[in-house]
Structure 1
Amino acid sequence: MAKTVIEKVPSKSSGVTVFKITGTLGFHEKENLIKLFDECEKHGISKLVMDFSELTSLGGGCAKIIREKADSGDFFIGVAGASKTTLKFLRNEDEPGRVRFASTVEEAMEEIGSGSGEEVVVEHPAKKSASTSAAKKQKAKKLQAKEKEPKVSARVEADHAKEDEIEKHETDGARSEAQNRTAPDTGDNGLPNVICLGHDANGVVSEESTGEPVDEWYADAPVPGLEGAPIEEKSADLEKSSDRKLKRRLVQYSSLLSISSDFNRIMEKSKLLDTILLTTIAQVGVESAAFFEYREDGLEPIAAKGIELEQCTPLVLEGTGDGRIWEGDEILEMSDSPIEEESKKKALSSGFAWAAPVIIYNEFRGLVLIGKPIKKTLNEDSLEVLNIIVRQAAVAYENTRRFEEESERILGLVQSLISLIEERTLARGNTSLIAGHSYMLAKKMHYPDELIKDLMFGVVLRDIGMIKVSDLIVRSPRELGKEEWEIIKRHPIDGADMLRKMKFSDHAVKIVLCHHERYNGEGYPNQLRGGEIPLGARIVSVVESYGAMLQDRPTRPALTREEALNTLKENWGMRYDPEVVEQFVEIIEEEIRTGENKQYMSSEFFSV
């Protein structure tokens, strides 16, 4: 599988070390990039050139590390062959910095050499000759000798690659390449010649990354099994053969297939579209991309990368009424697309050059428009990559669309249940207050984002089990007897069973089941204590008690906010989790101080 590789290559100057970096330098490689500089410092290397000619993407974090190392004065760093987008990440707009940039490695070496007052002799590479072949034979002998020696610090590897079935059965050629490129090869100064960072180059990029066309990633990759071995005349022909091209395609397509699983794991439409567009920019090698969703009155722009969404105007297809449908699934240049002339002019003025239809089950769902290519023009390979991405994206998009429809249906059901519960428990309007404070408190306590929605389902449906309790008990104006309390204390169990049957998540079910447990073990139904109680239930316990204190009850009048807070503080560490109380008190005291009391609509809680 494809990995990020840092390879120390021969240098024409003994004072300058050259590293060729292929693949990506993103979030997963930050720690290993720091290790590389530490190794350089350990071995007395202060002048280095980084060859970025085959770097496919650079994250902002890694760019910052390189800038800071150069600005510290401990290193003289030259960068060669970086793309325009990569240079934007490396250059600090506020300060020029001390990183030196050049088109070639030789020019970068001259920059580093002249910067230090040292004369650097640069020999430009010549065509392969008999002497080159002899040198490679000699290198092969050295490699064979090294295999018999103890292997020391051969590489730094942190393999985050996926174990998907497609990668498990990846071509032998691609696997051989990865193995050869990470073979132990220690330089004269003791620094490993090859460092495998192990990031899976699957094409899914983050906001902070920049990319180049994927079809160039393996353009100069060696033929499997030939690296470091004697090369005959026919080997040079083999490197240019269709086998090499096929190997590159297989690696590329396996990466694109892994993208499909990445897309299908994202169920929130906005996040999915961001990922699709960023992947398109990086894999196809274009400046911008936007998604236009098909609606009855035209195509509405709902996501964009590399261009502001406000710059994308709605599009109208040619034809009238039901005829305004994109026919076929062919990717077209904007000038040839079935878009009305006025809309087409606006799209072209925004920099869009191509349009790819998103079609699923023969239904037209929208368009992916892409901007100008970063390098030259789009070739057939790039358009084929775009076609694969859009086809994979169409399936994932349809899944999120249906998920949204199902979520809206569930939300309608939940809102009906909330009204029923409030009517049943004489707590009209209380749900909104408790849900709002629970949401704020969960955010303040860094509750996992992916669980917030389930937490909120548990919060608003916590008392659904009270539906089974008799009106005579629920509305009783007197103190309840022991048997009546036992019936009341069953409502968390009944509520959890009801949510389980309605296919709510286990997380939401646990919130309902445990929301009356108490920190000191005196709660119900299972007398859990401390950390045995889920955090979400501990949050609900505090907020619900606070909300109940603010309401009139048949047996007592409502308390003020200050009185309710004092009651919570008095039960600090007994009935309530002290950390939860501390964070919640800060929220309420801020509300009292500012006079604000933020109100949430119930739909807001389930759009996170």
Structure 2
Amino acid sequence: MKNSITVERNLNTKEGKQVTVEVNISKLDNDFLLGIAHDITEIKESEEQKLKRLHLLKTLYNANQKFSESLNLEKVAYEVTRTCVEDLGASLAWIGHAEANGKVTVLYQYPTEHPYTKNLNVRWDDTPEGQGPTGVAIRTGIPQVIEDITTNQRFEPWRMKAVTEAGFITSAAFPLATRGRTFGALNIYSDKKGFFDAENVQLFQTFAHQAAAALENANLYEKSTRRLQHIQALRKVDMAIAGSIDLRVISNVALQETIRELNVDAAAIFRLNPYMQKLEFIAAYGFYTNIIEEISLSLEKSFAGRAVLERKTIYIPDIERENEDMPKDLFRVEGFKAYYAVPLIAKGHVLGVLEVFMRNPHIVNDEWRDFLETLAGQIAIAMDNAELFHNLQQSNLELLKAYDETIEALSYALDLRDKETEGHSIRVTELTLSIAKEMGIPEEKLIHIKRGALLHDIGKLGIPDSILLKPGKLSDEEWEIMKIHPVYAYKMLSQIEYLRPALDIPYCHHERWDGSGYPRGLKEKEIPLAARIFAIVDVFDALSNDRPYRKAWPIEKVLEYIREQSGKHFDPQIVDVFIHLVEKKFVSRLGD
């Protein structure tokens, strides 16, 4: 056989079944042709299945990649629904979110302009509108497939819209669930009969699992972002409270944040006059007119009064239907449709009411209501603080004074234990502060330097007396133990939030400019500035005062030693400042 060719042909069997055969035709030596045919139908079908699965896996992979590129809920929802239609062959896809009130809201759909979901009434509770595929999928967590929309009774409420207007034949709903909680459903529609075969159902179910994780992550991110915005709004109110005792100033800030964060149209604050049993105007924001400023509300005959008496939030979804005595001119002129009244309660006492007005009511969730009540709580605190501000400020000053006196007493006790000369800690603290001021260190940092200087040797509380008070030279082993005392200081003070900013000196004042110090071997500007200043002061005080084991050095000798250690033990720049300051202000006093 010299030449051969191979061809594939689709043939029909006598039973009418189409098969694919591979024919190999060879020319024999005697010019005869030899043809051999193989039925490769199963092989071709297997290859087609593999290619299809490969395409679907690629589609799932690409979708997952797209999901990971964004934490914007709308963008993720768009990509989920677009993939269902453009890549997986559906006619329409929409994501339904299960609301706490039993309603299913349309989060997103593709194609975005498709009219089917407009005014769509779908629920997930046990109502007739909750018996369709979406509601059942959410309730049970099991995919629901409607093979034929035209005949399935469960689709009755939406059949006309789906079949006549949209031309759908079949539909399915796949639960969206993460961490054991179903939060919605992915709803798919097709105009092709048999679209939801077993393979497609498995495919969409897998895709729904991916989509649920991506949607939940985006939702959590957006919730976190909103909460951060809420925290920032509360922070602004806190800053207003801390920065002013003028209730109107604080109220204006709070009202602006209320309107911005809650997306409402107007808000007002009224203060309770317990003697007149009236609510009196304090501040308002978002109103077209000044009518609100002239209003005084009765406790017995107003929504706000009801909020005070019942000590709970009052919600009026449709003001026009209410017959209760209220400022109707205000609502008519301003065009308000819905209303909230939240009592302002501080320390168990109702101080007033926060009113919120909406011209175009919208659905709110528990998070929205919680934030409204949190803002009301902040406003109540502001009201209370306006009266108590002076007492609180005085108490804070007394508390800080008590803290610092305690630190000074502890510093004195440390001097006594270490047998330092009397007043050592006070002297080094004063001199350290003088240098810090000379170097232009901001006033707000000086208090932390002062506390750090007073507590510079607090870590020695962890050193045994046998080592700390040893009259002779320490052994190598004892010296290694002694060198741990800055670490003890760090462990002690870092547990106290009030003293954390003062850690630099107790932790680092034994570090040396050339890196030969302890406990971490820091060098040059790796050493905190406060510790570099204190290192010079501590050595100066130690050498210029009598100790049990030696007499004080003359001031000139001490200064010469400090000059000699510049660039070795000490920061050269600080040495210059120190020498100048000591020669200018302290030599005569310290030499006496």
* Same fold at TM > 0.5: no
* Structure number, greater radius of gyration: 2
The TM tier, using the shorter chain, reads 0.3 to 0.5
Structure having the higher strand fraction is 2
TM-score, structure 1 normalization: 0.35
TM-score, structure 2 normalization: 0.36
